[in-house]
Structure 1
Amino acid sequence: MVDDCEEAAGLLASLLKLADHEVAIARDAEQALLSAASFHPDCVILDLALPGVSGLELARRLSAESRGRPLRLIALSGWSPDEYAAAAEAAGCEQYLTKPVDFARLDALLSAN
């Protein structure tokens, strides 16, 4: 999970862990790329409003660096889906969720194969 808001990331990570998901948290794009190289996630939940490199650019980089390995990207943002969902999809995100997230929906997405 990539989110620069420590409290939001920590709360969501705790809920995901309770639902038996393995979670690593990154605060920015650089940290996310380093973590993905060693953690090898199946899915990355990423905020679009990150400091420095945007979540959209991060999605493109994660996709490029996955080297053919399946990697699901889910955008989680406070921004309006009317304005940003298409851009997130073009960057490689399969879903666009808004904050506050519907945890049951997110858990279902993560649990689906």
Structure 2
Amino acid sequence: MTKRVLVVEDNELNLKLFCDLLRAHDFAAEPVRDGREAVAKARDFAPDLVVMDIQMPHVSGLDLIREMKGDSRLRAIPIMAVTAYSGRDDEERIRAAGANAYVSKPISLARFMDEVRALVPDSAPAPQG
């Protein structure tokens, strides 16, 4: 069964990169460009993982993480924060909001996929041989 990832990112190039990368690794990726739509889309799409930008217009990714973790229907979904914030205090603040993982921009494609696989059970490729 294909695992589903909701990608919340206001930057069009990053959104396309994340979705294309996930799809190339056999995930169903659902883009959300406006953070104000993220919670409703998460309820409708029922993702196995949420990839969340932190710096967005209109609403902070931190606020969205807190809102999702406070929602009984969404709290069990792991959230991977992806952000240009890269200081130690930033990571602690993001994790304290409820993020399960943290990847700083610019991202390493391999690290991004390693984190996705770590957060989504049964999504690792089958061993060869």
Q: Judge same fold: TM > 0.5, yes or no.
A: yes
Tell which deviates more after alignment, 16-25 or 68-77: 68-77
> Which of residues 62, 69, 76 in structure 2 aligns to 1:56?
62
RMSD (CA atoms): 1.5
Tell which deviates more after alignment, 77-86 or 3-12: 77-86
Deviation at 1:111, TM superposition (A): 1.9
Distance 1:42 1:66 in 2: 15
Q: Which runs of 5+ in 2 are unaligned?
A: 1-6, 122-129
Q: Which runs of 5+ in 1 are unaligned?
A: none
> Which of residues 46, 67, 78 in structure 1 aligns to 2:52?
46
Distance 2:92 2:51 in 1: 17
Conserved in 1, the CA contact under 8 Å of 2:43 and 2:73?
A: no
Percent of aligned pairs with the same residue? 33
* Deviation readout 1:22-73 (Å, 9 max, x if unpaired): 1111112221112101101111111110111100000011112243662101
Ranges of 4+ aligned residues in structure 1 off by more than 4 Å: none
Distance 1:79 1:101 in 2: 12
Conserved in 1, the CA contact under 8 Å of 2:43 and 2:74?
A: no
> Which is richer in helix?
1
Amino acid paired to 1:23: A
The structure with more radius of gyration: 2
Name the structure 1 match of 2:43.
Answer: 37
Q: Any idea what SS the aligned residue of 1:23 has?
A: strand
Count residues with an aligned counterpart. Answer: 113
> Which of residues 56, 66, 90 in structure 1 aligns to 2:96?
90
Deviation at 1:109, TM superposition (A): 2.1
